Amino acid sequence: MAASCGVTFVDVLKALERISPFIHKTPIFTSEQANRKCGRQLFFKCENFQKSGSFKARGALNAVLKCQQVKPNVNGVVTHSSGNHGQALAWAAQRANLPCCVVVPQMAPDVKKNAIRGYGAELLECGPKPSDRNEACDKVQDDRNFELIPPYDHVDVIAGQGTIAVELLEQVPFLDAILVPISGGGMSSGICIAAKTIKPDIKIFIVAPKGKRLEECLRTGKRPWEGPPQYLDTIADGIRLQQTGYITTPILMELAEKDVFEMSDEEIIEGMKFSFERMKLVIETAAGASVAAAFSDRLRKMDPDLKNVGVILCGGNLDIENLPF
């Protein structure tokens, strides 16, 4: 399965070979209480146990290692991130012995900023708008000749994130569907490419905060967003970006299901609480959205033949001093 961006399943397999010595093959958790609550069999892919605390380690490391192969004399890497991708790139650059600069909006959680610094990266704070991030990154690129590794709209990042689906379908080959939280779409598009190649009839459902307008996008085949990127009003800081990427969106249009699960803050909190209390899993708000989708009326009313559902717990990086509940 290849999407119009040129990312293929072979790219995903090469990414897995490249990064597997350095990342965790994250476990699958199950819960009888969750199954009863959902009315289906749920299989939770625990990327909250991944290096750097989220799935982002996969795409960041693949992009860094591939960059070093292509450009052995690269000066360093730079990115912009609300937190998880920044942590992941800082970790990946540290492994590759490369300088790293991460541009982070001032309102990003301190726990994520501290983690980025903890991996040895330089942290630059910027203003609240997505355009502020881009301007700061451009300056670092110009001044230092660093390679930009963006959070999602990058073929090597997408291929790295697709390795989640390869692992998941090795661990649970009989899955009928996967619920995937989304920001810019790097993980969801990578999972689409890999999962639909391995099992063409599997359904990939996207999970987002309210106001994303992604279902409109997938049903019309057109980007509904105008002007510069905006942030959604949601507690899920890792998936606040409204627009998906210019590389990722066509992949989602082609391969993802048209039904998009948009979850409220209250539903996200309930998903987090269930994970904490019943499964003893610490997850961040974006992962709470996936749990909420699994328990939603919308999924309950879907085809009963979707009996086995994978749920991506995308990360566990949250500020325990400022929980949303």
**81 vs 156: which has the higher pLDDT:** 156
Together in a domain, 164 and 36: yes
Told to judge if 280 belongs to the known catalytic residues of this protein, a careful annotator would answer no
Q: How many domains does the chain have?
A: 2
- pTM value is 0.95
Please identify, among 148, 168, 190, the residue that sits at the C-terminal boundary of a domain. 148
Told to judge if 210 belongs to the known catalytic residues of this protein, a careful annotator would answer no
**Catalytically annotated residue among 52, 54, 82, 275:** 82
Query: In angstroms, rounded to a whole number, what is the distance separating the alpha carbons of residues 203 and 300?
Result: 15
What CATH number is given to the structural domain containing 84? 3.40.50.1100
Together in a domain, 174 and 225: yes
Together in a domain, 171 and 287: yes
Please identify, among 99, 122, 148, the residue that sits at the C-terminal boundary of a domain. 148
* pLDDT of amino acid 148: 96
**C-alpha distances in angstroms, 119 versus 7, 100, 108, 277?**
29, 10, 17, 30
**Catalytically annotated residue among 45, 56, 113, 196:** 56
Q: Give the residue-averaged pLDDT of 144-169.
A: 97
**C-alpha distances in angstroms, 282 versus 51, 68, 205, 318?**
15, 34, 23, 9
Together in a domain, 107 and 207: no
Please identify, among 101, 131, 148, the residue that sits at the C-terminal boundary of a domain. 148
Together in a domain, 233 and 269: yes
Burial 182-211 (b: 16+ CB within 10 A, else e): bbbbbbbbbbbbbbbbbbeebbbbbbbbee
Q: Give the residue-averaged pLDDT of 162-173.
A: 98
Domain that holds residue 140: 57-148
* pLDDT of amino acid 223: 95
Residues 205-251 have pLDDT tens digits of 999 999 999 999 999 999 999 888 888 999 998 999 999 999 999 99
Average pLDDT, the chain: 94
Check whether 274 has a pLDDT greater than 60. Answer: yes
Together in a domain, 167 and 244: yes
Token pair, residue 91, equals 């970790």
Together in a domain, 47 and 173: yes
Together in a domain, 141 and 190: no
Q: Give the residue-averaged pLDDT of 58-73.
A: 96
